[in-house]
Structure 1
Amino acid sequence: MSKTAIIIGATGLSGNLLLKCLLEDKRYQSIKLFSRSSCNIKNSKIEEHLVDVLEIEKYENLFNADEVYCCIGSTKSKTPNEELYLNIDYGIPVALANLCIKKGITTFMVISALGANKKSNIFYNRMKGRMEEDVFRRKIKKLYILQPSLIGGTRTEKRTGEKLAKVFMKILTPLFLGPLKKYRTIHPQTIVNAMLWLANNKYESGRIPSNEIQKISNNL
C-alpha cells in the first residue's frame, strides 16, 4: 500500500528525523510538507508548500493524505509573546485536527509534553493540556498524542535553557527508576520510531507518556 503523509514542522529536530525515515520507507509514496522555510532536501517523494502555518486552514485544498504528523513547537525564549506562543503550540494542532475531520484523514499524531495539564499554574503545561483536550474533542479515529519528557539530541537553533536542562538530566537520569522512568531524557529518534509504528499498527488511541513511547519504539 502506498500512503501519503503530511508533516508540519519538518525543519525541526523530530520532524526532520521523521521526514528522513518516511523517505526511506517504501510504504510511503508522497510526503507533503507545510512550513515557512524549506527543509532543503531534494527528493521526488517530497511535495513542499512554503506557507504561513498559522493560517493552515487556507490550504485545505492541498490537505489530502492518509496521515498527519504535527511536530511543531516553540519555546518561551524564541516566542516571548504568549499570544503568539499559544497560536503556535495550541492553535496549529487544533487547526490540523479540524482539517483531519473535514478531509476524512483518520490518523493524526501530535508531539505534546509530559507535564501537559490544563489546570497547571505553568503556562507551557497549561497550554499543552488545553491543546490535548481540544484535539481529543475532534474524535479522530487514530489519534495519538505523544508526551515526551525532555527531548535529547542536537538542535541547530540555540536553546540555552534547554541545553542546561539536558546536562542536569544527564546526571539525574540513572536515578529515575520504576515509576520515575517516564522522566528520563528521550531521544527524538525514539519518538519518530514510535510514531511510525503507531501509524502502521493497531494501538489504542490516546495520550502516550515518555516511558510508553520508549516501549513502542522498541517494536521497530
Structure 2
Amino acid sequence: MNHRIVFVAGSSGMVGMQLLHQLFQHPEVDWVVSFGRRELALKHQKLVQVKVNFDRLDQVDVVDEVRKQNRGGDFQSLLVALERGDDRPLVFCSLGTTIRQAGSKDDFYRIDHDYVISFARMSLRYGAKRFAYVSAIGADAQSSIFYNKVKGTVEDDLRRMDFEYLGLFQPSLLLGDRKENRLGEEVGKVLMRAVTFLGLFKKYKPIYDHQVARAMVKKMLNSQTTGNETITSLEMHKMTK
C-alpha cells in the first residue's frame, strides 16, 4: 500500500504552520515530514521532524533520520515507503525571511534563494514530482527591487528543474499572527484594506495565511494539474471563498 508522504520546509512561518495544520487534517495525507533548523513545539501522529543545516542539505539522509526516530516502530510504514522509493512525496516550501532578519542582502539571498533551491534538489533525490513554493506578488528576476528580484530568480531556477508540477504561489500582504512585529507591513495592510474596500487594486488585497495554505494543498493534491503554474493572490482568494 502506498502512503501519501509530504515534505515541508519553512514550517515555523505563518504559511508553513497553516500548511501543517491543514495537512494533518487531510484524509489523503499519511505522513508530514518537516525540515527545519529547530524542532517545533508541536506533536502529531502524522508529523516527523527532521532537524537540518540548510547549508548542507545535500548531506541529509532522510531515511536515516527517520530510522533514528523509529525506536517504537511508530514510523515503520513511512520508513518502509522511503526505503522502497515507491512513494513520490509532495513538496511544500515556504522558506523565507526579510533583509532585516537576515542581516544583509547576501544572507537574505542565501536563505530565500539558495536554501529553497537546495531543498528542491533534495526533494528530487527522493522522487518528488510536485513542488509548491510560496513566492511573492511582484516576483520578477528583472526587477529593480531586490526582494522581488530574488523571488523572481528563485521562480526561474525552479522552472528549470524536473518537476511534473510546479506551483508558484504569489500572495500579497499576508494576514495572520506573526511572531515579530513589522510596523511597515501593518501600516501597509491597513492602507490596502482601505483601497480594496473601495474596489481599487484588487490584486493587492491582503490575504490570510490559511488561505494561501489551503490553496496550495488544493492544487498539490489535484494530480490532474501539471506543468508550471503561477497562482496569484487574487486567484487564491477566489479558490478559498
TM-score of the superposed pair, with normalisation by structure 2: 0.83
Answer yes or no: is 1:37 the counterpart of 2:38: yes
Structure 2 CA distance for aligned equivalents of residues 55 and 175 of structure 1: 48
Give the match for residue 26 of structure 2. Answer: 25
Answer yes or no: is 1:157 the counterpart of 2:158: no
What amino acid maps onto 1:184 in structure 2?
K
By how many angstroms is 1:155 displaced? 0.6
Answer yes or no: is 1:196 the counterpart of 2:197: no
Answer yes or no: is 1:58 the counterpart of 2:59: yes
Structure 1 CA distance for aligned equivalents of residues 62 and 44 of structure 2: 23
What amino acid maps onto 1:150 in structure 2?
L
Structure 1 CA distance for aligned equivalents of residues 89 and 219 of structure 2: 13
Give the match for residue 123 of structure 2. Answer: 100
Q: How many equivalent residue pairs?
A: 216
Deviation larger for 155-164 or 135-144: 155-164
Deviation larger for 69-78 or 158-167: 158-167
Q: Which has the larger radius of gyration?
A: 2
Structure 1 CA distance for aligned equivalents of residues 215 and 157 of structure 2: 23
By how many angstroms is 1:60 displaced? 4.4
Structure 1 CA distance for aligned equivalents of residues 9 and 120 of structure 2: 12
Deviation larger for 155-164 or 122-131: 155-164
Task: Report the 3-state secondary structure (helix = DSSP H, G, I; strand = E; otherwise coil) of the residue aligned with 2:39.
Answer: coil
Where in structure 2 are the equivalents of 1:34-183 lying within 5 Å? 34-62=35-63, 66-177=89-200, 180-183=201-204
By how many angstroms is 1:61 displaced? 3.9
By how many angstroms is 1:49 displaced? 1.3
What amino acid maps onto 2:129 in structure 1?
T
Runs of at least 5 residues in structure 2 that lack an aligned partner in the other structure:
66-81, 83-87
Runs of at least 5 residues in structure 1 that lack an aligned partner in the other structure:
none
TM-score of the superposed pair, with normalisation by structure 1: 0.91
Deviation larger for 97-106 or 15-24: 97-106
Give the match for residue 75 of structure 2. Answer: none
Q: Does the 8 Å contact 1:93/1:131 carry over to 2?
A: yes
Structure 2 CA distance for aligned equivalents of residues 127 and 157 of structure 1: 22
What amino acid maps onto 1:126 in structure 2?
K
Cα 1:13–1:7 change in 2 (3 A) is same
Percent of matched pairs sharing the same residue: 29
Structure 1 CA distance for aligned equivalents of residues 50 and 127 of structure 2: 21
Q: Does the 8 Å contact 2:129/2:162 carry over to 1?
A: no
- Which digits, 9 at most, give the CA deviation of each residue in 1:138-172, with x for residues without a partner? 03101101011111112122222222222222222
Q: Does the 8 Å contact 1:176/1:184 carry over to 2?
A: no
User: What's the Cα RMSD here?
Assistant: 1.8
Structure 1 moving runs of 4+ over 6 Å: none
